[in-house]
Structure 1
């Protein structure tokens, strides 16, 4: 069975994140008011009915944001340069047409904003209904509510926001984008690019696809490449200075043939390199390795817990908790591209086997390291006490000498016995060889520990996700379970 039946196949909820700075020729107040007024436009928000706010009044948000900015400066004494100063941040969150009502969209936007800001920054959510797709404009202040800090954007913030929005949407039974990086530049696509058949691809997108297809056929030279373009319906326009432009039917303006227009790898030099065989044909870039998902927890058997005397309050909490854990499991499966139950089961079994294998290797290395360290300690102790034993032997095992050096002689006997046990008849290696072996084992242990922790984490995530999915489709233990209370 596939998981696609549980969530919509079409890509929907998308996010866009940006920071607003002061525009040239405007004051701070003018720049901020202009941006917030766009979001609050009554023609887009059903007369202002689709606006919700936190720790501010959306009607006076621009003045409140500016006041917070002044209080921040007074409290901290810090002030940024005018051109670098961030007035506020905006999140745009779009939804699939027909999947959500404006009121529900506003609630989802409010929850997303609250979890993104952690309740430390004032914000308001304006839901727009003037287009086919309902979308939220979320504005939050750059200054915290206690005026002690300013929000600092961080590397990967757009991706973190998208994951948070996906999680909230899954918890509200809304579909999400399953693969945010599709085209060859590896950039996140905006809402329009995700509409698929409902939206015609842009001229640049179509040109890139046509160029990729032609290059896979390995044209003999540049004229053959241009001839193939024209055969594909592309008009090749020769401009001044030998500059070429491409234009497809239905588009008003041509696109110049250069990498800054069509993207890296699609300019004349890059195409010529592929034709000459000095560069490979471009392949689809699906992005970098997936980030580690958040930790999953098993869903709760509500019926069993209620039988133990839990109250109605616990039941309500458990239902919400289970919904969130199932959303986390589904997001985990989407990020790992697992859409088939058998594939999930196989990957889970493989992860368990890998974790057990690495655990065994790590134990073996640790035992060998312990053995080597113990042998080195015994050798050192033997070398330190051997002169004492030689003196005892030279004194013909004198009782007086024994009484004077009893502790050293005991250490000698213990060291010798330890060496005999550890060597088990083998030849004693030199100390330099033992040190080298210990260094190698230490490095091996370090590498195995990192691999083991990663494998253990993946195993736990997969086992938990599979357990939650098993519970959902009543397959746990290979028998039909009682349906969970909804």
Structure 2
């Protein structure tokens, strides 16, 4: 199956990318392989082409363009983007894929989706693990040297202008993956669904950690195997792999989210929900691992769905027969089911199939879009019925009301955040003032040459003290300096208030997004897309 990967680079040496593509590199250290004379070893087989570089070398052309537009001059700037299309190893034998054909497909893909960028396209006949998968590297300068038309994945006017930089957004990656799938479908190559993630998401770093760990383990086990001793461990597992296994084992035993959290805590793992996403913190880490980095099986929707299944299975086995309708037992059972039921993720926007077909989407995408739209039409109708919004005027009023509520919640949250920032700034100024004040008082007691010597030795404190005086005149004019403990208490109270305000904001945002989506879907059901609706009104 073809896969698609993206890597951004801040390396200002554009020649390093070409060197990696044309010379052998160690698969673990990524350092170039040298022969017995200390010279680089060229790769045995590859295809290489440059685009929009004129007669110049890729690295020289990129650096000349950067200087011309004054871009990519800072250390933190993303200098280049590296995209990799890896084809299924079976495509060579089953579907006639060759290195030359893959190179042609890569050049075509680059010209279509990265116009106006200087690029280098290189195809290798094999991967790191010698699996025989032909793969294409596309490296582009992040700077655009020509104005281009607005492409489907672009969402800002600057994305088309000359002298601006390429942005690899989530929407862009979704679009590129769909185009890779369409390309494989067109060329009769093997392909999987790249748009719906994977149950176990293994990053590039984890992949190499597993490879290096397995190599080290095999090396450590070799003496024992030679002596006829069976090693205790023969397969290396990364920390993320162990975490996935622990979570799966816990999910098999839990039926509610609270029980799931408690069981994980017994294993030393804490689970936290923030903004509708789950993250897991292990004892040996200070930063939690998000569910997105583990895989789709570990996100909030999948976890709650599995917990609901476990709860229903347990309820079917242990549900008592009520003595009479509306019994307390039945009430408690319904309440329990309501608590464990996962929250709905809300409506999704319908797809404009005509526009997508005009963009060149294939039959497979159109078939998916048709099924998706049917599901969303039913979900939209149910949502409007449940909320009494079948009347379009009521729906418009509800959308406007939710927009105002969202704006008020946002402004309230920003106000609290600004107050917290002001309090923290005041706390720092007061702390600096009280820390440097003894130095100033000591200086006033000195006389003669000792005064100047003392000043030079503590000049930094004098500068900080004078700066704090100027700031205090603005932050606390004519007031008694507050105690640090009092400021800490006020900041803690404001943080609690901010958390409550954020929950209000998140609820208002979710409600507004759901209503706005319902309105867009309703307009598309009745009159087509909003843009076509306006066109029809103008024609009448």
TM-score, normalised to structure 1, is 0.39
Structure ranking higher on relative contact order (CA contacts 8 Å, 6+ apart) = 1
- Higher-Rg structure is 1
TM-score, normalised to structure 2, is 0.35
